Structure 1
Amino acid sequence: MAEEPVIRAEGLSVRFGARTVFKDVTFDVRRGEIFVILGGSGCGKSTLLKTLIGLVPLAAGRAWLLGEEIAAAGDEARRALLRRIGVMWQSGALFGSMTLTENVELPIEEHTGLPRPARSMLARAKLGLVGLGDAAGRLPAEISGGMAKRAGIARAMALDPPLLFLDEPSAGLDPITSAGLDKLIVEIARETGTTFVVVTHELQSILAIGDRCIMLDKEAQGMIAEGDPKRLREDSTHPTVRAFFRREAA
């Protein structure tokens, strides 16, 4: 019997007023894989991520995370489900007045009864996992953009969730820093079995980390491709998909 997917999406549609962002989006995410949501600017990638975690309401369709339908969950079940996922937003979304350790401690303090020394120890362990052990006492203003992204991942991992969402993790980073972040994501996924859902339009990152992907398109208002990104680059006959993966002008 096939293992239940970590995420199951059936016929998802989102509208803002009269504008349809996307419609009829259907896919599964398997346990332990790095799943990429890709596409051009304005196609609804980040909106889809927010829809999956319950921040944007669905106009149609149903979505399940870790076997639970988040839209149908009651308050307590919803809170319990959200404790089992981690999210890193585009900028890292760190609190500027707090050190990196204090930032990572926040979800531990919110959702556990651990004393401060234990929280601090766990937070420093997560920062060490992303290569920031020596920067634990720094403020966000004292670190680089790439370090802020890593710190955001550390905070998303604070409660050891089986599912992590990363929104544009490589945006604004130089190629070397971006490659280092890609390597970190793959290492965490392979070493911990964590499932990643990554929103990005960065082609090199998609090919470096993605096990499978879906591609959204603004004009089509939905999905136009699904599969292994390397296979899509080589075999897709869809003109928009081919142009994206081969960096050709539309």
Structure 2
Amino acid sequence: MIRVRDLAARFGERTIFEHVSFEVRRGEVFVILGGSGCGKSTLLKLMVGLYEPAAGSVEVLGRVLAAAEGDRAVAGRERRALLRRIGVMWQSGALFGSMTLAENVELPIEEHTDLPREARALLARAKLGLVGLSEAAERLPAELSGGMVKRAGIARAMALDPPLLFLDEPSAGLDPITSAGLDRLIRELARDLGTTFVVVTHELQSILAIGDRCIMLDREAKGVIAEGDPRRLREESTHPTVRAFFRREAA
């Protein structure tokens, strides 16, 4: 689904990370983890084409979406078509406050399809039903809890039935019970719909609950210091930073 090759991110003279390479397999929940400031969200933005890499490339669904200068990436109409095949839920949910949940979810359907209004409305409500928000369809984002906003953000990200979903810190700001419920939802969607998830998080419980595989970024190393099943990394890694993260110990 995704191939990242020798990727580097820099802002001015500051290198965030470099020589990052990994693959995301079809149908898995792939987690990007690490401490604050290691470049998790920057990597996500590179993977969805919001940033251009300083070096390397990101291949999504068989096409190069982002590439360093000199390498060829998709552009124009082809790029827009590729971007419609991925969905993104940002940390805040990024819902439009003046629109109901149903209207928020319906917006990308209206923007990118020729479906009549009745069909768009039915599809939006179906997506809300998948995340347990059928009865909240006519409510505004301000009337919802933080967990409901995150679920609505996932519903909107799924509006166009993308095979690939990116979630940015889905558990951030949630209480443990709400976070656990969101973790269960992600696993259910991956299992029932066959959707591939890329999840950026530093929440240890969520990582262990949802992740099939992961990479761990490190600010000091400026790159990947671990890759694999998070449960195996917790039990078997000998890297001091990885052990400290998974065992909640001081490095």
**Where on the TM-score scale, by shorter chain, does this alignment land: which range?**
over 0.9
Counting only pairs closer than 5 Å after superposition, residues 75-154 of structure 1 correspond to structure 2 as 75-154=76-155
Deviations 1:145-165 (A, max 9, x none): 000000000000000000000
Kindly tell me the number of residue pairs found equivalent between the two proteins.
245
2:219 aligned partner: 218
SS of alignment partner, residue 96 of structure 2: coil
Q: CA deviation at 1:219?
A: 0.5
Deviations 1:96-151 (A, max 9, x none): 00000000001101100111111111000000000000000000000000000000
**Aligned-partner residue type, residue 183 of structure 1:** R
Identity of aligned residues (%): 79
2:70 aligned partner: none
2:30 aligned partner: 35
2:228 aligned partner: 227
SS of alignment partner, residue 21 of structure 1: strand
- Distance in 2 (alpha carbons) for counterparts of 1:123 and 1:249: 46
**Aligned-partner residue type, residue 222 of structure 1:** G
2:53 is equivalent to residue 58 of structure 1 = yes
**Aligned-partner residue type, residue 134 of structure 1:** E
**Aligned-partner residue type, residue 232 of structure 1:** L
- Distance in 2 (alpha carbons) for counterparts of 1:52 and 1:130: 25
- Distance in 2 (alpha carbons) for counterparts of 1:202 and 1:242: 15
Where do 5+ consecutive residues of structure 2 fail to align? Answer: 67-72
Q: CA deviation at 1:62?
A: 1.2
**Aligned-partner residue type, residue 61 of structure 1:** G
- Distance in 2 (alpha carbons) for counterparts of 1:144 and 1:62: 38
Q: CA deviation at 1:214?
A: 0.1
- Structure 1 vs Structure 2 CA RMSD: 0.5
2:68 is equivalent to residue 67 of structure 1 = no
Counterpart among 16, 24, 27 of residue 21 in structure 1: 16
Q: After the TM superposition, which segments of 4 or more aligned residues of structure 1 sit over 4 Å from their partners? A: none
Deviations 1:34-68 (A, max 9, x none): 00000000100000000011101100001100001
